Amino acid sequence: MPLLEVKDLHVRVEEREILHGLSLIVNRGEVHAIMGPNGSGKSTLSHVIAGKPGYEVTEGEILLGGEDLLAMEPDQRAAKGVFLAFQYPVEIPGVATMTFLRTALNAQRKARGESEYSTPNFLKKVREVAASLNIPQDMLRRGINVGFSGGEKKRNEVLQMGLFEPSLCILDEMDSGLDIDALRVAADGVNALRSKDRAMVVITHYQRLLNYIVPDFVHVMSKGRVVKSGDKDLALELEASGYAQFEEA
């Protein structure tokens, strides 16, 4: 059974249809890239999967491990293993990253019916995961994302991903605003979290990111639909020829 199955999805935002019958199948262990021009509906798809309010699904369905994802509240989806890394991470002054992570992780464990981490166990876990992803300890004491560079924000998201152990990671334009060094660091983190039990959906406008996170499948979106799917070579083809060819079709 696929991990994620999106079937003929139609989505409206403020009375306007944005996704017009989008279908996608993602299995555990796979990394899928979704590419497409600005405004093609990439972020809309990620928001609908995560359960962000403001979107109306008028047709179609989304299944996670065969279960109806659209019937679940956003926190239930997270508890079931859906993780969305936002395009623009929020800054929360006054809340230490460590405190935020602990609260979020324990909420997720509770929703899964698991016991909360004790302080020493949480510290042990977060240090282990941070070390495995080359994340400096001092980042954990600072306010969430406050004064973080673009690269540090991404590391923070990679750290959350490592802690929450999601089955489905959706990364929406994680490359936006990153210089090449920061991009490499963030991509290394994502690659370290690839596993046979986990799937990743990497959304990007540019091919560049896919030099670092090499996908198994590439899908091109245009005007609210997947118009072409292929392997990693499709991304290279796009880099050479652009999106215009799909706009016509």
Binding-site member from 14, 16, 38, 248 for Mg ion (CB under 5 A): 38
Q: Is residue 204 close enough to count as binding Mg ion by CB under 5 A?
A: no
Q: Please enumerate in sequence order all residues whose Cβ is within 8 A of that of 172, keeping only pairs 6 or more positions apart, or say none.
A: 42, 43, 46, 84, 85, 86, 87, 203
Residue whose entry in the numeric block shows the structure tokens 């992780």? 105
Cα 174 from chain centre: 8
Instruction: Compute the least distance from the CB of residue 160 to ligand ADP, in Å.
Output: 21
Of residues 15-34, those binding ligand ADP (CB under 6 A): 18
Residue 18 binds which entry of Mg ion, ligand ADP, none, CB below 5-8 Å type-dependent = ligand ADP
User: Minimal CA–CA distance to 176: which of 58, 43, 29?
Assistant: 43
- Closest CB to ligand ADP among 47 and 154? 47
User: Minimal CA–CA distance to 103: which of 88, 87, 86, 119?
Assistant: 119
87-91 own/partner pairs: CB under 8 Å, 24+ apart: 87/43, 87/172, 87/173, 87/174, 87/176, 89/145, 89/153, 89/156, 89/157, 90/144, 90/145, 91/143, 91/144, 91/145, 91/146, 91/148
Q: Is residue 40 close enough to count as binding ligand ADP by CB under 6 A?
A: yes
Cα 100 from chain centre: 19
Q: Cα separation of 126 and 212, whole Å?
A: 25
Binding-site member from 1, 14, 94, 118 for ligand ADP (CB under 6 A): 14
Helix, coil or strand: residue 197: coil
Show the site string, 49-88: x = touches ligand ADP by CB under 6 A, - = not: -----x----------------------------------
Instruction: Compute the least distance from the CB of residue 170 to Mg ion, in Å.
Output: 12
Instruction: Compute the least distance from the CB of residue 23 to ligand ADP, in Å.
Output: 17
Binding-site member from 5, 30, 31, 43 for Mg ion (CB under 5 A): 43
Of residues 114-143, those binding ligand ADP (CB under 6 A): none
- Closest CB to Mg ion among 47 and 155? 47
Binding-site member from 6, 26, 30, 44 for ligand ADP (CB under 6 A): 44
- Closest CB to ligand ADP among 18 and 185? 18
Instruction: Compute the least distance from the CB of residue 243 to ligand ADP, in Å.
Output: 11
DSSP 198: -
Q: Cα separation of 200 and 212, whole Å?
A: 14
Q: Give the interface with ligand ADP as residue ranges (CB under 6 A).
A: 13-14, 18, 36, 38-44, 54
Q: Give the interface with Mg ion as residue ranges (CB under 5 A).
A: 38, 42-43
